[in-house]
Structure 1
């Protein structure tokens, strides 16, 4: 918690109660500080004689009426409660602006001391008129607030309010400000420089009410306490007058003012105030608006007419300048055309004379050219006749030479053909003489080959007839065997079906027997079973399958080897000699011999196997 220690007012206040440079000192008259904080004194300063003491807990200021008591309180409250709505005593919004002259830069600085540590903090307000002119416009009234912690380099006594402020006062209670007063910008720059050089000062600068109020709360100076003080000193009476309520609505208003922040309604109050001022001047503003609208309309017409006139003047001047320039160009062109016409007339006479002379020269040149052409044609005709005679003579000689060359070629071809014919005849006679024995042998061999081929063909036809008959017999036997096999397969399928039915019936009988045994109707003594029908059925099936397989294998092998025999027979008969055919015949003969020998033993084995199966079937 802080207590007010000193107040400094500089160049501020109304004309009758003005504070040029005043300091109210309340220090070192109270109780000692219980927990003094260490402080750093300035150079050449006297050492403190004891612990720091608190400022005076109370004080009385005696001044006559109009001496400045209310002004002092209003200025102090303007630092702690910024805004014209918080002016002490319910004064009008412009009362603080009346405390400042045109050339003034007013300062209100308050030094507060902590009740327990003795630390000090200075908060202040600086204000001036923008442009150094007093105005009714509140926007031209500039205000700012600042704070710092006094120490070496800056204190309440050494505030840079003037350009030659001393760091230390000359004597106690005497101001150190000398020279011309600083402006708000100069004061701010001086504070900023001091804060940069002395970092312990903790200089802070604000220009808006809300942020300054928040900063006061951060320093520990609660503005709400001063709002209550303002309410209690509203009419400069006793504090008890604040709570002297006559009805419930007054108490409600007091309670609302105590618990509600009036900063939220400041904007609305300013808006209502400005709107009321505008409503009061409504008739004047409407008349001014109508006059301005009419003036603007008339002035617009005048401006349009003036612009139209200037544009017409410009167009007329430009047209006149173009006409004068065109006249000058036409005059110059006429003079040039007259000169050129005279020159063309002179050139026309000279050209006519030149044309006449050229016609005469052309006629004479035409006669000369005709004579030259005639003579040239006569000479060319004589030369052509001579050339034609020479060419006819050369043509006759060439034809004669060509006929001679053609006859020579025919003679040469005839002689060459006669020589070739003689040589070919001699070669033919010699070849016939050499080939006579070979031709005789070839004729004999051909006759033998024809006879052998005829004999072989007859034998092959006989053998083919026999084999065809045998094949027909075997085919009929195979068909009958196939029918027998089909019937046997049908019987076998029927037998298998019957066997299945019998096995099913046997299973049913066994099941019934088991049920009868379980019921005690049949004895459980074993009885001999008959297996002969199943064995006989298996033997019969093996016999039938063996017979079918035998006939099919026999038919396949016989057909295959007959085909191979005839194929190789005709192949070797047409493409090889008689000896090769004989060798092939012997090869197939021995092959068939061994084949039938092997087949005979296979048949005997199969016969004995079938016999054993048949014997087993009969048994």
Structure 2
């Protein structure tokens, strides 16, 4: 005997009370199923013995009953609560509607799923617009009521696609035991009886719910004849009309043999009392046999799963071995590539280091050359001041000499008489000027000789240059006095203030006096210069 365990309604029902995807779970709350073997690791309980569904009017209670009874009571005449045409309102558009019932055996805990799939035909007569197909299977880890292939790749499957999906699952796992009856109403009723689900019991329930759950009128009969006909219809096979008369004959003979039957009853009562232990033993044997059959069934299912697992593991092992071989070959090739790449990288680094070293050496040489050039420039700039001053002094002396020569050249016509009168004075003056120039050249040579030690004697050189400048200033002043004297002589000769004889004597006297003064000053300058040299040498 089976009890309803779970219900799943998918894409079925009228627009006002439509079940998009609803599962009613009644499992795991009943009594523990007795006789469970050790192969089962968890305790299996029977479904709920009583269930109460509370919904408002129009909530879908009648729709739910119609859908449930349409699975176990096939045929349009067995529709609950009206004509079978109402089922066409439960299927909208081209979608396939599914009503699935999961049952559990009250003794073994075995489960079976029965289902009905409805779909509108795209062509056909108005009276045959709805296709109804019935099917059943045994659930397992590969397919359960919640994993039925109603959809694929995000789209809903039509009836043919759903059947092909179930057949594919059955081919992959034979323990599914798929039975696709199709639209054969009689074949489906026989299949339910063979499975252990009695449609006639649900026929009584259908009569009780013929009019929105009005069970009171289900057993009201107008006459005893109507009751007898109903009873015979339920108890006896409607296809065997001959057996009804035979049953009545047997009943008449039984009434006639009542006395003998009473004796037999007493004998049977005594026999029953005597055979009660045998009956108890038979019940225990039957329970043990049921447990054995359940264990054998569980063992068979376990064996099939183990074999399937073994085949899958063997295939996975073979695949893993092949992958390991491929990985080893790939690793060997990758190691060779890695070694070659490492050699290339090392050679590239070596060449890079060589180039970088050459660049660094070149940069070092350039920096060294730049440093030497900078040192030379620095030394040159250190001497440039002294050289510039020397050059300026030479240029100034040359200009002075040129000016003197030019002045003498300009005054030559007027000074011819004076030169004759003052020849001695001029010769002496020229001698003094030559001596001054020699002294200047000597001092210049001495300054040039001292330029080599300018770095060490910079301070002393600067002091010497100051003294030279002072001497040059004194020389310039002397030359200026000579020029003034010449101008005075020329002015006096031009003005006629001095006679020729008188002018020479006085001019000689003045020249001697001037030469003496110049000699003293030059001597003083030399002494001062020699004193500066001696201090610089110290």
TM-score (norm: length of structure 1): 0.37
Q: From the CA coordinates, give the structure whose radius of gyration is larger.
A: 1
TM-score (norm: length of structure 2): 0.42
